């Protein structure tokens, strides 16, 4: 079968959940046995979101191959279990950089370089995931045959900056014919005073899209209230879309209900019909339904604190989802509480962490809020409360141990204190000469050998002592202090074999006190919750 392309755009307002809809389409097509990938095109100029403040763009998600990407890729992976790569997250900045680099190398000698066709051609190439055949090209790794490529375009229809992406989609739809489908997501607001649901914004949004030469095949209407057939019919007739291709996406108690809700309304069937593929039987999706049943039955609440500095849901997206998923598989509801580490002091720590069954000390950069993380780590260590330190969180556990157990009051990370003689967290050798900020950290999946008999080995079921996890950091545990740590009870139980870096520390006598230099949250999925989150929640729930 030729590869089919599904383009997902959004209108009216942002934050409608295009990422969830794209991920749901991916899941539903997978359930029918198709091989899919999902990619995100973002209209901003940054090469990737790696240098963005989480307040701008939420969490930065990291792929196995070490690319810093949009957090929607996290949804794609959690819903479908696929492993995305650097080919799945594209920005305007990357498109322009590729074209400008080619121009400088002389690939276009004699030609004027323009948005149309040069920028749009490069967008099209990446949407089709074709390899770069230009003289100096190498920026898209050729890959195995896919049945479906789902392309989500960030932003909202009408944005000036997304216009070249829309033009690329227009051209591709013409070129690909029935092998391309356009899905447009809009919003149907409910006006309380009039007690009415309003379709006009959707009509305008579709007009805007039509004005760019794109007739949507399928409309997904986001709504807080149920839409009756009359409204769907109205939208269908005003927007030139078949009634069966107008699907509603009501608010759900959980995002994981969305694929099933979309399947019930025949979104996947509508896509197949548009392409001309026989629809056949509706797949059962047993594992997914079993998961949803577990979710509905998980009633007992377990309170978990997220100790960090970003007071914003999206900043720790994958950690939140990993905790939720692990909760569900442990038959409990993980209730997450943000604890602002900037506000934690020795005096108030007991009160701030009161009632929490466990805490996660979150990743991060820079000095803001780190002393609060260290105080929290001390409190949970001395009160034996389950504690999971991730990346910077692990580094803070290590510093706390040095200060309060090894007796080095000035212990710190080189990131925070250039001069301390007790630099228990140090800059990695390979990072010392780096001056460029973008994409230069130790990024992506690296191997780690677990120590036999350790708590982490047990968490990974002792089945394999060689694991691979994703990273995003410049600093590391300083091996000069390793023996001292181990003799005082903090064990280095996960080591990267190639570089001898400490990837995991634990205090085995504690109920659950483990820090990882890597980010397990990036590889936890709906059908495969991560073993460390599973084991952490289990300890918290006891």
Footprint on this chain of ligand GLN (rule: CB under 6 A): 363-365, 391-392, 415, 472-475
Examine the residue annotation and report whether 351 is marked as an active-site residue of this protein: no
Q: Within 18-119, where are the H helices?
A: 18-31, 54-57, 72-80, 92-105
Closest separation between CB of residue 385 and ligand GLN, Å? 21
Contact indicator for 188, 201 with CB cutoff of 8 Å: yes
Task: Look at residue 10 and give its three-state secondary structure.
Answer: strand
What does the alpha-carbon distance between residue 526 and residue 31 come to, in Å, rounded to a whole number? 14
Closest separation between CB of residue 440 and ligand GLN, Å? 11
157 versus 492: smaller Cβ distance to ligand GLN: 492
Q: Which of 77, 122, 469, 521 is catalytic?
A: 521
What does the alpha-carbon distance between residue 519 and residue 391 come to, in Å, rounded to a whole number? 7
Contact indicator for 43, 155 with CB cutoff of 8 Å: yes
34 versus 365: smaller Cβ distance to ligand GLN: 365
Q: Which of 184, 422, 473, 519 is catalytic?
A: 519
156 versus 341: smaller Cβ distance to ligand GLN: 341
What does the alpha-carbon distance between residue 246 and residue 267 come to, in Å, rounded to a whole number? 9
What does the alpha-carbon distance between residue 252 and residue 463 come to, in Å, rounded to a whole number? 37
Closest separation between CB of residue 494 and ligand GLN, Å? 16
What does the alpha-carbon distance between residue 184 and residue 353 come to, in Å, rounded to a whole number? 44
152 versus 321: smaller Cβ distance to ligand GLN: 321
Sequence-separated (6 or more) residues with CB below 8 Å from residue 376:
305, 307, 339, 341, 344, 349, 352, 353, 359, 361
Cα angle, residue 511 at apex, residues 509 and 516 outer, rounded to 5° = 90
Examine the residue annotation and report whether 521 is marked as an active-site residue of this protein: yes
What does the alpha-carbon distance between residue 342 and residue 340 come to, in Å, rounded to a whole number? 5
HSE-CB for 182 with a 13 A CA cutoff: 28
Sequence-separated (6 or more) residues with CB below 8 Å from residue 442:
428, 430, 431, 471, 472, 473, 474
DSSP code, position 413 = B
286 versus 419: smaller Cβ distance to ligand GLN: 419
117 versus 430: smaller Cβ distance to ligand GLN: 430
Closest separation between CB of residue 485 and ligand GLN, Å? 18
Closest separation between CB of residue 536 and ligand GLN, Å? 17
169 versus 392: smaller Cβ distance to ligand GLN: 392
Q: Which of 60, 140, 239, 391 is catalytic?
A: 391
Closest separation between CB of residue 368 and ligand GLN, Å? 11
164 versus 364: smaller Cβ distance to ligand GLN: 364
Closest separation between CB of residue 325 and ligand GLN, Å? 21
Question: DSSP for 192-234?
Answer: TTTTEE--HHHHHHHHHHHHTT---SEEEEEESSPPPHHHHHH
Sequence-separated (6 or more) residues with CB below 8 Å from residue 24:
79, 258, 259, 262, 267
Closest separation between CB of residue 363 and ligand GLN, Å? 3
What does the alpha-carbon distance between residue 359 and residue 377 come to, in Å, rounded to a whole number? 9
Contact indicator for 41, 169 with CB cutoff of 8 Å: no
Examine the residue annotation and report whether 245 is marked as an active-site residue of this protein: no
Tokens of 300: 């007992």
Q: Which residues are part of the catalytic machinery? A: 391, 519, 521
């Amino acid at each position: 079968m030729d590869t089919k392309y599904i383009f997902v755009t959004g209108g009216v307002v942002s934050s409608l959940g295009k990422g969830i809809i794209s991920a749901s389409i991916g899941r539903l097509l997978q359930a029918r046995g198709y091989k899919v990938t999902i990619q995100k095109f973002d209209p901003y100029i940054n090469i990737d979101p790696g240098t963005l403040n989480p307040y701008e763009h939420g969490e930065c998600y990291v792929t196995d191959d070490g690319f810093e990407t949009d957090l929607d890729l996290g949804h794609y992976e959690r819903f479908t279990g696929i492993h995305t790569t650097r080919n799945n997250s594209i920005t305007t900045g990357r498109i322009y950089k590729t074209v400008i680099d080619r121009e400088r190398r002389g690939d276009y000698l004699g030609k004027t370089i323009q948005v149309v066709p040069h920028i749009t051609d490069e967008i099209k190439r990446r949407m089709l995931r074709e390899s770069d055949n230009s003289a100096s090209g190498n920026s898209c790794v050729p890959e195995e045959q896919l049945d479906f490529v789902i392309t989500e375009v960030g932003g909202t229809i009408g944005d000036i900056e997304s216009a070249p992406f829309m033009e690329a989609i227009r051209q591709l739809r013409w070129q690909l014919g029935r092998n391309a489908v356009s899905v447009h997501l809009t919003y149907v607001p409910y006006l309380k005073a009039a007690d009415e649901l309003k379709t006009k914004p959707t009509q305008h949004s579709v007009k805007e899209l039509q004005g760019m030469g794109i007739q949507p095949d399928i409309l997904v209407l986001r709504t807080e209230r149920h839409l009756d057939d009359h409204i769907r019919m109205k939208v269908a007739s005003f927007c030139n879309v078949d009634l069966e291709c107008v699907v509603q996406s009501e608010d759900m108690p959980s995002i994981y209900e969305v694929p099933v809700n979309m399947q019930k309304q025949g979104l996947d069937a509508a896509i197949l019909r548009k392409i001309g593929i026989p629809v056949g039987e509706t797949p059962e999706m047993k594992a997914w339904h079993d998961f949803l049943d577990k979710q509905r039955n998980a009633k007992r609440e377990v309170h978990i604190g997220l100790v960090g500095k970003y007071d914003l849901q999206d900043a720790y997206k994958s950690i939140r989802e990993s905790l939720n998923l692990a909760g569900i598989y442990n038959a409990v509801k993980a209730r997450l509480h943000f604890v602002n580490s900037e506000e934690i002091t020795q005096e108030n720590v007991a009160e701030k962490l009161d009632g929490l069954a466990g805490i996660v000390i979150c990743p991060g950069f820079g000095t803001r809020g780190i002393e609060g993380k260290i105080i929290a780590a001390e409190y949970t260590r001395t009160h034996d409360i389950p504690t999971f330190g991730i990346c910077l969180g692990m580094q803070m556990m290590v510093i706390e141990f040095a200060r309060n157990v090894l007796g080095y009051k000035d212990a710190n990370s080189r990131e925070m204190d250039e001069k301390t003689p007790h630099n228990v967290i140090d800059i990695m050798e390979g990072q010392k000469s780096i001056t460029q900020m973008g994409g230069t950290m130790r990024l992506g999946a690296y191997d780690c050998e677990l120590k036999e008999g350790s708590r982490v080995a047990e968490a990974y079921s002792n089945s394999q002592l060689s694991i691979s996890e994703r990273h995003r950091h410049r600093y590391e545990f300083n091996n000069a202090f390793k023996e001292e740590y181990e003799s005082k009870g903090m064990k280095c139980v996960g080591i990267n074999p190639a570089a001898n870096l400490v990837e995991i520390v634990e205090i085995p006598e504690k109920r659950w006190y483990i820090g990882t230099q890597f980010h397990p949250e990036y590889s936890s999925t709906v059908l495969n919750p991560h073993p460390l989150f599973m084991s952490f929640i289990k300890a918290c729930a006891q």
